[in-house]
Chains A and B, each alone.
Chain A
Amino acid sequence: GESVGLHLPTLSVQEGDNSIINCAYSNSASDYFIWYKQESGKGPQFIIDIRSNMDKRQGQRVTVLLNKTVKHLSLQIAATQPGDSAVYFCAENAHLTGRRALTFGSGTRLQVQP
């Protein structure tokens, strides 16, 4: 079936460096994408979202890039901090088709080395 996946299961970066987490999706009808951060023992925390009519969106220290041609999105974290250590999930839905439930990728663990 349709799925959302990730290229790298674990990413280790030095504190202060920029991090890039990638995600591929397969559903051509996907039109809304969210990145979540999940810390150990907690529920997923909304970070940033992007709609399919955009290719870039920026937040505080985070940027999401969407390439619909190759069905790929990425999360960039600037000046990565130890508090950014967590598992990051991309998720998508096709809300214009009426489906509001999310399909999640497999997750990337980000480890920030002090």
Chain B
Amino acid sequence: SAVISQKPSRDICQRGTSLTIQCQVDSQVTMMFWYRQQPGQSLTLIATANQGSEATYESGFVIDKFPISRPNLTFSTLTVSNMSPEDSSIYLCSASGQGLEQYFGPGTRLTVT
């Protein structure tokens, strides 16, 4: 299984600012994804991070608000831009290799004040 780390683990940010979350995988993986989990709720896919090309966003999520980078097969970033209190959530990175199993990082807990 892949071991996934995220930085920061948590942050408190002011509205109008931006935060970049980093996701590092301990081995090369085929697929990387970003999910959001609002308090007490399930996970919702934000986008698929594509290596070397633009991310593929789900309905309701746009690149201007959630720009994503994936410069190589082990690393990705998600930026939450121009934050508002509604962006307070847990942001989770996941990865999948040659197999179908998908593993998750510990999450980044974001509070916007």
Give A contacts to B, CB under 8 Å.
Answer: 32, 34, 36, 42-46, 49, 51, 89, 91, 93, 95, 100-107
Contacts and interface: CB of A to CB of B under 8 A. Distances in A.
B42 A104 contact: yes
B107 A42 contact: yes
Q: Size range of the interface on B?
A: 20 to 34
B110 to A, nearest CB: 14
Interface stretch (B12-20, B63-71, B72-80, B94-102): B94-102
A5 to B, nearest CB: 10
**Chain B interface, >50% SS class:** strand
**Chain A interface, >50% SS class:** strand
Contact of A100 (B31, B44, B107): B31
Given A101-B45, A107-B42, A44 B92 contact: yes
A49 B45 CA distance: 19
